[in-house]
Amino acid sequence: MDMKTQVAGNLKKKVSVPLVAGILGTAAVLGLLNNSVLMTDAGYTYVHQNNLTGELDVFSEPGIHFRMPFLSKITKYDQVITVSYGNTTGEDFYQRLPAIQARFADTYIGNIPVTFRFKLSLNPESVIKMHREFRNNSNLIDALLVKNARNVTVITATQYTGEEFFQGGLNQFKTQLGDQLRDGIYMTERKQVEVEQIDLAPVGVNQANSNKLQRTQQLVWKTVPVFDADGNLKRQDNPLQQYGIAVTQVTIGDPSPEEQLNKLLMDKKRLVADRIRAIQEQETSKAQAETEQLRKEIQRTREVQDAQRNKELAIISQQKEVEIARQIAEREIVEVEKKKRLAEVDKEKELAIAEANLAIQKANALSAEYEAKAILAKGRAEAVVLKAKYDAYGANRDVYLAELNRDVSTALYNNLKNYQVEMPKNYFGGGNGSKLTTNLDVITGFGALGMLDKTQKLTDEKQK
């Protein structure tokens, strides 16, 4: 080997040892950190076992927790566990269990698919006790939940007969199954009891109502609950209560009976169907007979009603004729009375007219007498007034003439005040002598008109 190759090998050894050591150190640190931290998820309960001190810690909430690295053990439990019998669609092993085969009180067998839902306690003491006895989730399911659920289902089935279970007792069975899972199995004893059944009465010719239900009693051996002196059910200890495990849901699928029980139920169903068919035929015949009898009764009733109607129509016809004759007689009497009354009214009317005419003539005569007296008195009064007026005019002739001239002048002025008349400077008066009127005469005339104007204004002011 030459010197160059030896130097390269020594250099490679010097570089590889520190690198490998660094990688191993990093891996050791990461492993230490990974084993020192526990990250919990929701829906699970974790039991941390410290192998150095022997302490057990319970974590039920999601979060990050410290753990003893390399000297601790973590056990994971489901907080909610579903155990299903007869369900082949589940993914977990405890969900692929076959349906529970139960034997009923009358020795018939049935397969019951049922699903149970359990909820684990969040109390650390209950979880630690459960962990000490079962150590992991699978043991808890197999040794406690699966076996206890199957045991309670089988024991509850012994309290029912096969017919009772498959003919309406499924809901009550589910209620008792859930009650015993939660609070403990009933203390029971085997004894012969009477089972009451409701069935159709036998078909009979003289039976009044063939489809009437009747109650029948049948003696069977059953496992029945035992009660204490206070009337409460006696129960066994519930193994789930000591660990705080609660049953939250019980669901029953479609149960299937064994072949013999299924044949019995089908035969009974067929017999009941045949009985119902016979009852229906009997009821049909009875209904047809009753219908025929009813038809005859209806015909007889119709004939009786027709005869009664004809009789009533004859009576009504006679009564109608009598009533018509009575009404005709009453109408004739009314006509005679009407004529008599009309004659009396005419006489009374004529008398009233004569009396009214007499009163009118008397009133007219009296009115004419008083009218003549009034005319005479009025004439005398007017004559006295006229005489007094003319006497006054005769005694004051000048005053009367002056007032008359004043009234004439006033009327002329009112009618001619809007006209303008230019008087000539010279007035030529006519006459035999053709006398020339002077300006003085004209001025004197105008002065008289001015005095009339002032007199009219004073009169107007007084009237206002």
Per-residue pLDDT tens digits for 197-246: 555 555 444 454 544 545 566 677 777 888 888 888 899 889 999 999 99
What DSSP string runs through 119-159? E----HHHHHHHHHHH-SHHHHIIIIIIHHHHHHHHHHHTT
Q: What is the Rg, in whole angstroms, of the alpha carbon atoms belonging to the chain?
A: 72
pLDDT of residue 205: 42
pLDDT of residue 123: 93
Question: For residues 82 and 26, what is the distance between their CA atoms, to the nearest angstrom?
Answer: 43
**Beta carbons within 10 angstroms of residue 268's beta carbon:** 13
What DSSP string runs through 264-286? HHHHHHHHHHHHHHHHHHHHHHH
Tokens of 463: 């009237």
**∠ Cα 147 243 228 (to 5°):** 80
Per-residue pLDDT tens digits for 286-328: 878 888 888 888 888 888 888 888 888 888 888 888 888 888 8
pLDDT of residue 334: 86
| Beta sheet of 44-50, edge-to-edge order | 56-59, 44-50, 72-78
Strand partners, 193: 220
Decide if 184 contacts 237 (C-beta within 8 A).
yes
Coil, strand, or helix at residue 258?
coil
**214/35: higher pLDDT:** 35
Q: Averaged over 12-16, what is the pLDDT? A: 53
Coil, strand, or helix at residue 58?
strand
Question: For residues 284 and 209, what is the distance between their CA atoms, to the nearest angstrom?
Answer: 12
Closest CA to 162 of 264, 270, 254: 264
Question: For residues 442 and 85, what is the distance between their CA atoms, to the nearest angstrom?
Answer: 162
pLDDT-derived band at 12, boundaries 50, 70, 90: low
Coil, strand, or helix at residue 76?
strand
Coil, strand, or helix at residue 290?
helix
Residue owning tokens 């590889």: 16
pLDDT-derived band at 146, boundaries 50, 70, 90: very high
Question: For residues 36 and 64, what is the distance between their CA atoms, to the nearest angstrom?
Answer: 10
pLDDT of residue 427: 47
Assess whether pLDDT exceeds 50 at residue 151: yes
One-letter identity of residue 121? S
pLDDT-derived band at 441, boundaries 50, 70, 90: low
**Beta carbons within 10 angstroms of residue 406's beta carbon:** 14
Question: For residues 307 and 381, what is the distance between their CA atoms, to the nearest angstrom?
Answer: 105
Long-range own/partner contacts, residues 451-460 (CB < 8 A, 24 or more apart): 452/406, 452/409, 452/410, 452/413, 453/413, 455/406, 455/410, 456/410, 456/413, 456/414, 459/410
Question: For residues 189 and 232, what is the distance between their CA atoms, to the nearest angstrom?
Answer: 15
pLDDT-derived band at 23, boundaries 50, 70, 90: low
Question: For residues 342 and 338, what is the distance between their CA atoms, to the nearest angstrom?
Answer: 6
**∠ Cα 212 214 217 (to 5°):** 165
Question: For residues 385 and 391, what is the distance between their CA atoms, to the nearest angstrom?
Answer: 10
Which stretch of DSSP H or E encloses residue 163?
helix 162-166
Per-residue pLDDT tens digits for 95-111: 568 999 999 888 889 99
pLDDT-derived band at 127, boundaries 50, 70, 90: very high
Closest CA to 235 of 146, 156, 150: 156
Residue owning tokens 């009064």: 381
What DSSP string runs through 297-317? HHHHHHHHHHHHHHHHHHHHH
pLDDT of residue 130: 93
What is the average pLDDT value for the chain, to the nearest integer? 78
Per-residue pLDDT tens digits for 365-402: 888 888 888 888 888 888 888 777 777 777 777 777 77
Strand partners, 189: 224
Question: For residues 273 and 280, what is the distance between their CA atoms, to the nearest angstrom?
Answer: 10
Per-residue pLDDT tens digits for 254-297: 898 888 887 877 777 676 666 666 667 777 778 788 888 888 88
Assess whether pLDDT exceeds 50 at residue 135: yes
Decide if 176 contacts 157 (C-beta within 8 A).
no
**∠ Cα 177 180 186 (to 5°):** 115
Coil, strand, or helix at residue 79?
coil
Which of 161-165, 332-336, 405-409 shows the lowest mean pLDDT across its residues? 405-409
